[in-house]
């Protein structure tokens, strides 16, 4: 029998309890992303190791349709309507301006992401237009971004270089840009070594370097901060992979080897900033500390008279028994005259036709040219 003292028990709120339980089960939203724009980058990334490589990053594939990335999770694909023209950068720019629904969907996918790495092929309309657009969106939301942007091969026709020139020009005019230019010919011709000693060849180097960038927490923040501090927007990279410390004997020699593998033709001596990303076996931690790498890099860079800053990121230490070192040098602030002249010449025919047809305005193109006319 219930007594008067026992009656006033506190009521159990079932609805509130369920709500709290759901809140606890709800997965934390990713704070960083890997954004892949276009067909060429997707084919590089969508391999067996993709899920393991991205870790806790949110993958986002921007394609013309989900059918172009059949290996990707449908949730990760933000597809453009299949009937939209995507050949030129101005087609996509016009689509984004007119289609608020798609723009809102894209914004919702990148909202809340603080660290972002972008991979884009600049000869494709999607990559050339969306790369500068995403950089601007991340800047507006106070988020950091860094991009690997693949330039077309010299053998590709005028339209490819027209798209690339426009994209680089729009990125160069954005104070938030930290874009690493990679020449497709250099990427496809790359020959290196994996950490297990096996041979690496071709564009797999992009996948390999992206793995390092994702392993390094805060990579995009560090590179973005360096860019803002020294007003540098465009970079390229030099890399050596799987370098045996026993064979090379010093980190300076590894850097010498890296300088033989540029991914873009530029005046090396004109670079003004360097960012160094290194992966080292844990048992070599005392031999290759961040401080020792800084000193070796400073000695190596003496042949570069315009250097204003060298930033060596804290090395990525991996639990391996080998002595193999991966080193990537991101060099920025170099002279752009040669690049501008080449791209103008290659894209001249398509540019003239598009202006004549009224697809773009002459002053719009001149603004792009002006942003690349002088050194950064």
pLDDT, tens digit only, all 376 positions of the chain: 444 444 444 455 666 665 555 444 444 456 889 999 999 999 898 875 665 667 788 899 998 865 555 556 778 888 888 889 999 999 999 999 998 899 899 989 998 899 999 999 999 999 999 999 999 999 999 999 999 999 999 999 999 999 999 999 999 888 888 999 999 999 999 999 999 999 999 999 999 999 999 999 999 999 999 999 999 999 999 999 999 999 999 999 999 999 998 999 888 889 999 999 999 999 999 999 999 999 999 999 998 999 999 999 999 999 999 999 999 999 999 998 888 999 999 999 999 999 999 999 999 999 998 888 754 4
Count of other CB atoms within 10 angstroms of residue 17: 10
| Pairwise CA distance, residues 88 & 66, whole Å | 20
Specify which residues 370 forms β-bridges with: none
The Cα angle at residue 167 between residues 161 and 171, in degrees rounded to 5: 145
- Domain range annotation of the chain: 30-177+338-376
Instruction: Supply the pLDDT for residue 22.
Output: 47
Write the CB contacts of 84 (distance below 8 Å, at least 6 apart in sequence): 64, 91, 95
Q: For the chain, how far is it from start to end, CA to CA, in angstroms?
A: 86
Overall CATH class of domain 30-177+338-376: alpha beta
Tell me the C-alpha to C-alpha distance, in Å, between residue 79 and each of 12, 42, 120: 46, 13, 15
Write the CB contacts of 16 (distance below 8 Å, at least 6 apart in sequence): none
| Pairwise CA distance, residues 20 & 23, whole Å | 5
Q: Are 216 and 313 in contact (CB under 8 A)?
A: yes
Tell me the CB-side half-sphere exposure of residue 94, using CA atoms within 13 A.
Answer: 11
Q: How far is CA 360 from the centre of its chain?
A: 28
Specify which residues 235 forms β-bridges with: 180, 332
Please, is 119 exposed, middle or buried when counting C-beta atoms within 10 Å of its C-beta (0-12, 13-18, 19+)? buried
Write the CB contacts of 318 (distance below 8 Å, at least 6 apart in sequence): 279, 280, 281, 282
The torsion region of residue 38 among left (phi > 0), alpha (psi -120 to 50) and beta comes to: left
User: What is the pTM for the complete model shown?
Assistant: 0.88
């Amino acid at each position: 029998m219930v007594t008067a003292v026992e009656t006033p028990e506190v009521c159990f709120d079932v609805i509130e309890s369920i709500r709290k339980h759901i809140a606890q089960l709800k997965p934390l939203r990713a704070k960083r992303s890997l954004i892949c724009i276009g067909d060429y980058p997707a084919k590089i990334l969508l391999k067996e190791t993709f899920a393991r490589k991205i870790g806790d990053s949110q993958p986002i594939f921007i394609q013309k349709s989900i059918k172009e990335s059949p290996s990707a999770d449908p949730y990760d694909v933000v597809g453009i309507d299949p009937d939209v023209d995507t050949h030129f950068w101005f087609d996509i720019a016009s689509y984004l301006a007119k289609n608020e629904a798609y723009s809102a969907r894209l914004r919702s996918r990148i909202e809340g992401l603080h660290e972002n790495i972008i991979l884009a092929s600049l000869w494709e309309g999607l990559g050339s237009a969306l790369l500068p657009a995403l950089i601007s969106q991340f800047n507006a939301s106070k988020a950091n971004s860094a991009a690997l942007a693949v330039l077309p091969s010299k053998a590709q026709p005028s339209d490819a270089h027209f798209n690339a020139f426009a994209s680089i020009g729009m990125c160069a005019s954005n104070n938030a840009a930290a874009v690493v230019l990679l020449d497709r010919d250099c990427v496809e011709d790359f020959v290196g070594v994996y950490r297990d000693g096996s041979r690496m060849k071709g564009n797999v180097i992009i996948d390999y370097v992206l793995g390092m960038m994702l392993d390094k927490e805060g990579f995009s923040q560090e590179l973005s901060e360096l860019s803002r501090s020294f007003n540098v927007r465009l970079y390229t990279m030099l890399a050596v992979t799987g370098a045996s410390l026993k064979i090379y004997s010093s980190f300076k020699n590894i850097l010498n080897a890296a300088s033989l593998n540029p991914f873009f033709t530029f005046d090396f001596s004109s670079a003004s900033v360097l960012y160094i990303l290194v992966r080292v076996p844990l048992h070599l931690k005392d031999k290759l500390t961040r401080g020792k790498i800084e000193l070796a890099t400073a000695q190596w860079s003496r042949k570069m008279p315009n250097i204003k800053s060298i930033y060596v990121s804290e090395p990525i230490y991996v639990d391996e028994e080998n002595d193999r070192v991966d080193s990537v040098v991101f060099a920025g602030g170099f002279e752009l005259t040669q690049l501008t002249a080449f791209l103008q010449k290659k894209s001249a025919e398509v540019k003239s036709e598009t202006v004549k047809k009224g697809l773009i305005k002459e002053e719009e193109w001149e603004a792009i040219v002006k942003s690349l006319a002088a050194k950064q």
